């Protein structure tokens, strides 16, 4: 799609779970529902990205994922041979800082009873710019992480936790089949309790 076609293509609000703004030509005030929904969506993306980055850091520490050294990366100051997952750490740091934007925008909306006024325009613009630029930086940084799964280490890790993984998979199947999470969890606990008792006797 060319830039001209992109410019003429209307934004699909529903695709991102957002409501299209009703007042396209505000004078002094309009409600903040669109901003609140947009910020909530961005913060949800940041939370998921934070989780993925944390999981990768954990897998790297266990040797299941192999991290490659970036060009000219000096390593730790105390241990030059050590390779820190600094990009993943940066992603986590950025995503945590974005969580405060949701509270800030909520405060703005609540303080003005969901009305846009001149005294909140700068604060909203600043908060939304920080959110979008921060999320873009987190995504760009995450894309630069160079790593791959160590197949042998992964197979060994799966073998060590075979019982736990099978239990989690069985619990997931029950929930997808229609069982409530609570009843499926209780059944799993009873099953594990019977297995533990069998092992001790």
Identify the top-confidence range among 25-39, 47-61, 76-90.
47-61
> Span 26-35, mean pLDDT?
60
Residues 130 and 71 placed together within one structural domain of the fold: yes
Distance CA(162)–CA(25), nearest Å, equals 59
Residues 87 and 165 placed together within one structural domain of the fold: no
Count of domains in the chain? 2
Task: Show the tokens assigned to 90.
Answer: 């940066």
pLDDT band at 26 (very low <50, low <70, confident <90, very high): very low
What percent of the chain has pLDDT above 70?
70
Q: What pLDDT was estimated at residue 168?
A: 72
Residues 124 and 167 placed together within one structural domain of the fold: no
In a domain, 5, yes or no: no
Give me the domain span that covers residue 169. Answer: 159-201
> Span 133-144, mean pLDDT?
92
Whether residue 137 has pLDDT greater than 70? yes
Distance CA(14)–CA(82), nearest Å, equals 46
Q: What pLDDT was estimated at residue 27?
A: 42
| Higher pLDDT pick, 81 / 186 | 186
> Span 29-48, mean pLDDT?
82
In a domain, 181, yes or no: yes
In a domain, 2, yes or no: no
Q: What pLDDT was estimated at residue 152?
A: 80
Q: What is the CATH classification number for the domain harbouring 95?
A: 1.20.200.10
- Residues making up the chain, counted from first to last: 201
Q: What pLDDT was estimated at residue 23?
A: 55
What percent of the chain has pLDDT above 90?
19
**Cα distances (Å, whole numbers) of residue 166 to 107, 190, 191:** 45, 15, 12
Task: Show the tokens assigned to 151.
Answer: 């197949």
Distance CA(107)–CA(98), nearest Å, equals 15
Catalogue the E-assigned strands of 27-108.
65-67
Identify the top-confidence range among 29-33, 155-159, 161-165, 180-184.
180-184
């Amino acid at each position: 799609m060319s830039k001209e076609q992109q410019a003429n293509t209307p934004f699909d609000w529903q695709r991102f779970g957002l409501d299209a703004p009703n007042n396209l030509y505000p004078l002094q005030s309009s409600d903040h529902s669109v901003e609140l929904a947009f910020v909530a969506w961005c913060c949800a993306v940041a939370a998921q990205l934070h989780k993925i980055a944390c999981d990768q850091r954990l897998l790297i520490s266990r040797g299941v994922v192999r991290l490659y050294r970036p060009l000219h990366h000096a390593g730790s100051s105390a241990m030059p041979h050590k390779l820190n997952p600094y990009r993943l750490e940066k992603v986590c740091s950025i995503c945590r800082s974005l969580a405060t934007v949701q509270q800030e925008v909520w405060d703005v909306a609540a303080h003005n009873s969901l009305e846009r006024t001149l005294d909140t325009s700068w604060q909203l613009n600043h908060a939304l710019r920080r959110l979008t630029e921060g999320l873009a930086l987190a995504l760009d940084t995450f894309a630069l992480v160079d790593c791959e799964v160590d197949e042998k280490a992964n197979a060994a890790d799966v073998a060590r936790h075979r019982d736990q993984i099978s239990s989690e998979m069985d619990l997931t199947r029950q929930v997808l089949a229609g069982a409530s999470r609570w009843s499926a969890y209780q059944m799993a606990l009873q099953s594990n309790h019977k297995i533990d008792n069998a092992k001790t006797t």
